[in-house]
């Protein structure tokens, strides 16, 4: 059709035909209007992707007629043609953007190909929960390579009320983008999590004291024999059918009691004990040979109390801690632990703190962090550093030594002359040498 400048009046005069057609602007080559059979119209830009007549011709829609004005469309067209002049291919880039994966799609690939293949089942569940519950609702539909640090920062800040969870989410997302770069889903090195500051975390480790351990021991013995008392809410409808007060006791089985004791004596993780099979127990050498754990293949050294527990447990399943099904492990210890810890009068104690308690006893005895790390199955020494402040035996000896010498020099205590440093004489001698 004859070319003249595209204006609103000219567009109003355009009518649909049996086939779609284009009307081109007379003053800006490549800018035009596409008229479809349905009557729908849109502003387009036509250009060659490259130099020479052999370069392919591209068409790119810059806006729909009615949503932007002809002048606005002309401005967008000029901008597009300007980028083409500098070697860009806007149509190809837009097609690539459409093909680009969303964060939710990358997350699923990350979980299947990386996390579930290389991490423990519990870690995989944790990763999936964080991504699906916290990340996907906020930024899951965004193209992964378009996500900005500002968006990640907002997501992190939104979860400030749970700093541990927020920081863990940030670590998981950072790992996700590293994976995406290695698999060429996003540019290599692209990681919008980089540089975002983590929330401060206070140590959550809770170590049971000797009296508390005595209370736990007594509670477990009570629970597996006569049972632990429980209360009933008399205001509820079913309260009248509850046993009499003297008969309100919860008895835990030998496997639940044994599991709690093994967690304390071995320092093992919960799933390592619940998923333990009799085939994994080497009674002769006193070892648990775990084919799979959070950190991979693992060996746990058994002490005498732990071996005694294993020897006394009835073999009711292929699993050491028998569950309701012979071919499935027990799922958790929530109910027995809640009953035992409540009876022992302990508050704020998680079942994982039994592992921390095991480590704290070794650290306090001056066994050394490398040894403790090996017993717990830590693959990185930094993980064991959380117990460094408990490894006070060398520090205590050094402090005692310094304090003793200072106190003797001050005349506070009597000590052999050979061990005394006379501070005043030392100063005078030093001054004379000057």
3-state secondary structure 97-111: HHHCCEHHHHHHHHH
Q: How far apart are the C-alpha atoms of 395 and 127, rounded to whole Å?
A: 39
Token pair for 133: 């519950």
Query: pLDDT in tens for each of the 434 residues of the chain?
Result: 445 899 999 999 999 999 999 999 999 999 999 999 999 999 999 998 877 778 888 899 999 999 999 999 999 999 999 999 888 888 877 776 666 789 999 999 999 989 988 887 778 889 999 999 999 999 999 999 999 999 999 999 999 999 989 999 999 999 999 999 998 888 889 999 999 999 987 666 678 888 999 999 999 999 999 899 876 566 666 655 566 666 678 899 999 999 999 999 988 889 999 999 999 999 999 989 988 877 778 888 888 999 999 999 999 999 999 988 878 899 899 999 999 999 999 888 899 889 888 887 777 666 667 777 777 777 666 666 666 655 555 656 676 677 777 777 666 654 444 444 444 444 444 444 44
CA dihedral 211→217→218→224, nearest 10 degrees, is: 160
Q: How far apart are the C-alpha atoms of 35 and 64, rounded to whole Å?
A: 11
Under the phi-then-psi rule, with left for phi > 0, alpha for psi from -120 to 50, and beta for the rest, what region is 415?
Answer: beta
CA dist list (Å): 48 to 81, 87, 90, 323: 10, 10, 11, 70
Domain spanning 103-182: CATH 1.10.760 = no
Instruction: Count CA atoms closer than 13 A to 385's CA, side-chain side.
Output: 4
Q: How far apart are the C-alpha atoms of 217 and 212, rounded to whole Å?
A: 9
- Residue 342, classed as helix, strand or coil, is helix
Residue 425's pLDDT is what? 44
- Please, what CATH class does the domain formed by 210-388 belong to? mainly alpha
Q: What are phi and psi of 108, to 5 degrees?
A: -65, -40
C-alpha 68 chain-centroid distance:
45
How far apart are the two ends of the chain, measured CA to CA in Å?
105
Q: How far apart are the C-alpha atoms of 343 and 228, rounded to whole Å?
A: 7
Q: What is the largest CA-CA distance in the chain?
A: 115
Note whether 333 and 351 are within 8 A (CB).
Answer: yes
The CATH number that domain 8-95 falls under is: 3.30.160.390
Note whether 18 and 35 are within 8 A (CB).
Answer: no
Residue 194's pLDDT is what? 95
- State the DSSP code for 44: E
Residue 419's pLDDT is what? 42
Residue 245's pLDDT is what? 61
């Amino acid at each position: 059709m004859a070319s003249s400048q595209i204006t609103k009046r000219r567009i109003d005069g355009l009518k649909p035909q049996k086939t779609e057609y284009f009307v081109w602007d007379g003053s800006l080559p490549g800018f035009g209007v596409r008229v479809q059979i349905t009557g729908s119209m849109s502003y387009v830009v036509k250009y060659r992707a490259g130099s020479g007549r052999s370069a392919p011709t591209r068409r790119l829609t810059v806006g729909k007629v009615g949503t932007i004005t002809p002048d606005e469309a002309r401005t967008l067209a000029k901008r597009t043609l300007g980028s083409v002049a500098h070697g860009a291919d806007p149509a190809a880039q837009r097609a690539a953007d459409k093909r680009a994966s969303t964060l939710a799609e990358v997350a699923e690939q990350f979980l299947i190909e990386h996390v579930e293949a290389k991490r423990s089942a519990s870690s995989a569940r944790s990763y999936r929960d964080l991504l699906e519950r916290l990340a996907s609702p906020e930024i899951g539909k965004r193209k992964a390579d378009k996500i900005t640090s500002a968006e990640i920062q907002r997501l992190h800040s939104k979860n400030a009320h749970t700093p541990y969870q927020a920081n863990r989410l940030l670590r998981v997302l950072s790992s996700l983008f590293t994976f995406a770069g290695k698999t060429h889903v996003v540019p290599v090195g692209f990681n919008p999590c980089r540089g975002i500051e983590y929330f401060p975390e206070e140590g959550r480790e809770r170590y049971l004291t000797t009296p508390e351990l005595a209370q736990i021991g007594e509670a477990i013995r009570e629970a597996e024999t006569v049972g632990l008392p429980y209360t009933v809410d008399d205001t509820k409808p079913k309260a009248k059918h509850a046993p009499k007060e003297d008969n309100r006791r919860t008895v835990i089985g030998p496997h639940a009691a044994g599991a709690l004791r093994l967690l304390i004596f071995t320092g093992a993780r919960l799933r390592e004990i619940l998923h333990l099979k009799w085939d994994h127990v080497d009674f002769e050498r006193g070892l648990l040979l775990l084919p799979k754990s959070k950190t991979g293949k693992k060996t746990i050294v058994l002490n005498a109390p732990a071996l005694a527990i294993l020897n006394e447990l009835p073999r009711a399943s292929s699993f050491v801690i028998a569950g309701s099904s012979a071919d499935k492990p027990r799922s958790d210890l929530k109910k027995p632990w809640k009953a035992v810890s409540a009876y022992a009068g302990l508050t704020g104690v998680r079942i994982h703190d039994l592992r921390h308690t095991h480590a704290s006893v070794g650290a306090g005895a001056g066994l050394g962090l490398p040894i403790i790390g090996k017993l717990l199955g830590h693959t990185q020494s930094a993980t064991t550093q959380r117990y460094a402040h408990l490894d006070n035996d060398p520090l205590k000896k050094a402090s005692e030594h310094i304090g003793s010498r200072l106190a003797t020099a001050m005349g506070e205590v009597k000590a052999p002359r050979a061990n005394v440093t006379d501070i005043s004489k030392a100063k005078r001698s030093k001054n004379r040498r000057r």
